[in-house]
Structure 1
Amino acid sequence: MNDIILQKENHLATITINRTKALNALNTQVLFQLEEVLQDLKKDDNVFVVIVTGAGEKAFVAGADITEMKEFSVFEGRNFSALGNRIFREIENLEKPVIAAINGFALGGGCEFALACDIRIASSKAKFGQPEVGLGITPGFGGTQRLARIVGIGAAKELLYTGKMIDAAEAYRIGLVNKVVEPDKLMETAKTLANGIAENAPIAVKLCKAAVNRGMQMDIDTAVMYEADIFSQCFSTQDQKEGMTAFIERRHKNFINK
């Protein structure tokens, strides 16, 4: 898998999109490779948190591969969109938290890739946008849906209708990213955050992700009942017993899954 690099270390996995000559653009081959990596991570109980980033200094993912898309038929366009959406939903539904470390251009499919992640940390040199309307198309990997949910309908429509590119500071202002750091601090910051998450009970973190993601699609009354179900499940785990006992005994916690 030359287009994707997967590294694992201390309960942390890092996925790097590695097509620097194409600014890490997503084509069919890269998407299938990404899906293969995600299947591996689903099965690896030793990985608690995932970071995704792009190789090189210029791009996280500059978008979907226009060279591949240019001659698509309606049928081929539908299949390509369905493939990207399926894989990005796998990222969204991965039980482990996913952090996007955005080191450069995150445009079109690259912005949509970041939107599918749980947390987004941007280099101060990062650029964001959904420029599809300037190419005669719409976003096809969930951009019209996730962007509005994350930054609000008004800000999302402005970005979608104009196709304009914004810098990291503006992305932070509208809530598109959680944090902006200097380029040389990007991976360090992402790993520090990931390790902080990994210190906690992995089952509880997994259930938090499920509660937020599923609850956002429910009315509030149904959502809080779902939260109660999630909360109650924790009391069947050894992690809950260890976490609360360690708190009462004022000692370091030692979660069983580690």
Structure 2
Amino acid sequence: MFELNLRGRVAEVTMCRPPVNAISEEWGVAFTELLDGLDARDDWSVLHLRSSQKVFAAGADLAQIQSWITAERPDATLSSYIGKLQAVYRRLESLSRVTLAEIGGAALGGGLELALCCDLRVAADEIKVGLPEVGIGLIPGLGGTQRLTRLVGRGTAARLVLSAEPVDGASACALGIVQWSVPRERLAAEAARIADRIAGLPLPALKVAKELIGAHGAGHDAGYTLERELGGRLLLTPEAQQRITAFIQRRSS
């Protein structure tokens, strides 16, 4: 699912789960193990997260979520799933080193939420990012409502979450969702340049600077709890069940 390559002080992690780097509990276990292993090492300063697939990451497995509709407690099942993956995303966010997401393909739903866990993001101008969950009767439950709002403010977060409409990489940069955007053919080189430059800076200073930035607004975990609890209940609604089923049918036809 992942390939790890150390390039100087840069730990380059490539997601390689065909065809779209689907995010599942199995994926979460493997990613957490990788992050734990890296955190125990002292030979790197920057985590450079990228994808070998056409997309960055496609988000949650809707077919799996659809299968829970007939469960005895579909809301509890989805809530538990959200909670487990929230923990994985927090593990990435809490790394003591700098993290950079290279977004060379679509990052929608959980894929964008994954990128939002990184300190820095660089995207290709042409790609699409967005949080489309409301369009199928759910919500962005892996931190999207919280991290995006803190990052870009309530107005821009409301635009992406409530309209369920994606934006391209250049627009995402203008909105503050990513910090850099470049033409696709330049993305890999630009991402490597950014990672290498930061990796050349003093690690103790980077660690303290990251901790201080993260302390802004600390202690407000209620939003994540609401994502888990209220997000799980949405699987009980006919709108979500019908739209998820319709989406699966369209994708398989």
How many residues align structurally?
215
Q: How far does residue 28 in structure 1 lie from its aligned partner after superposition?
A: 1.4
Provide the C-alpha distance between the structure 2 equivalents of 1:184 and 1:136, rounded to a whole number of angstroms. Answer: 36
Provide the C-alpha distance between the structure 2 equivalents of 1:24 and 1:46, rounded to a whole number of angstroms. Answer: 27
Q: Does 1:172 align with 2:173?
A: yes
Q: How far does residue 50 in structure 1 lie from its aligned partner after superposition?
A: 0.4
Q: Deviations over 1:203-228 (max 9, x none)?
A: 1100100000013437xxxxxxxxxx
Q: How far does residue 152 in structure 1 lie from its aligned partner after superposition?
A: 0.9
Provide the C-alpha distance between the structure 1 equivalents of 2:184 and 2:159, rounded to a whole number of angstroms. Answer: 27
Q: Deviations over 1:152-171 (max 9, x none)?
A: 10111121111111111211
Q: How far does residue 40 in structure 1 lie from its aligned partner after superposition?
A: 0.9
Q: How far does residue 20 in structure 1 lie from its aligned partner after superposition?
A: 2.8
Q: Which of 60, 83, 104 is the equivalent residue of 2:56?
A: 60
| 1:181-196 → structure 2 map (5 Å cutoff) | 181-196=182-197
| 1:105-144 → structure 2 map (5 Å cutoff) | 105-144=106-145
Q: Which of 4, 16, 25 is the equivalent residue of 2:2?
A: 4
| 1:177-256 → structure 2 map (5 Å cutoff) | 177-217=178-218
Provide the C-alpha distance between the structure 2 equivalents of 1:4 and 1:30, rounded to a whole number of angstroms. Answer: 9
Q: Which residue of 2 aligns with 1:241?
A: none
Provide the C-alpha distance between the structure 1 equivalents of 2:66 and 2:4, rounded to a whole number of angstroms. Answer: 30
Q: Which of 67, 71, 77 is the equivalent residue of 1:71?
A: 67
Tell me if the contact between 2:9 and 2:200 (Cα under 8 Å) persists in the aligned partners: no
Provide the C-alpha distance between the structure 1 equivalents of 2:159 and 2:186, rounded to a whole number of angstroms. Answer: 31
- Per the alignment, in what secondary structure is the counterpart of residue 195 of structure 1? helix
TM-score by length of 1: 0.80
Provide the C-alpha distance between the structure 2 equivalents of 1:215 and 1:107, rounded to a whole number of angstroms. Answer: 26
- Per the alignment, in what secondary structure is the counterpart of residue 61 of structure 1? coil
Which stretches in structure 2 are left out of the alignment for 5+ residues? 69-73, 220-253
TM-score by length of 2: 0.81
Provide the C-alpha distance between the structure 2 equivalents of 1:185 and 1:25, rounded to a whole number of angstroms. Answer: 26
Provide the C-alpha distance between the structure 1 equivalents of 2:6 and 2:217, rounded to a whole number of angstroms. Answer: 31
Q: Which residue of 1 aligns with 2:156?
A: 155
Q: Deviations over 1:118-143 (max 9, x none)?
A: 00000122211100011211111000
Q: How far does residue 101 in structure 1 lie from its aligned partner after superposition?
A: 0.1
Q: How far does residue 88 in structure 1 lie from its aligned partner after superposition?
A: 1.0
Q: Does 1:50 align with 2:47?
A: yes
Tell me if the contact between 2:126 and 2:170 (Cα under 8 Å) persists in the aligned partners: no
Q: Does 1:80 align with 2:55?
A: no
Summarize the Cα distance change of 1:216–1:187 in structure 2 as closer, same or farther, 3 Å threshold.
farther
Provide the C-alpha distance between the structure 2 equivalents of 1:194 and 1:85, rounded to a whole number of angstroms. Answer: 26
- Per the alignment, in what secondary structure is the counterpart of residue 98 of structure 1? strand
Tell me if the contact between 2:170 and 2:182 (Cα under 8 Å) persists in the aligned partners: no
Runs (4+) of structure 1 exceeding 6 A deviation are none
Provide the C-alpha distance between the structure 2 equivalents of 1:214 and 1:137, rounded to a whole number of angstroms. Answer: 30
Tell me if the contact between 1:4 and 1:30 (Cα under 8 Å) persists in the aligned partners: no
What letter corresponds to residue 2 of structure 2 in structure 1? I
Q: Which structure would you say has the larger RCO, counting Cα contacts within 8 Å and 6 or more residues apart?
A: 2
Of stretches 157-166 and 97-106 in structure 1, the one that deviates more from structure 2 is: 157-166
Q: Deviations over 1:70-111 (max 9, x none)?
A: 223222211211111111111111001000000111000001
Q: Percent identity?
A: 33
Q: Does 1:100 align with 2:101?
A: yes
Q: Considering only CA atoms, is the larger Rg found in Structure 1 or Structure 2?
A: 1
Which stretches in structure 1 are left out of the alignment for 5+ residues? 219-258
Q: Which of 10, 13, 18 is the equivalent residue of 1:15?
A: 13
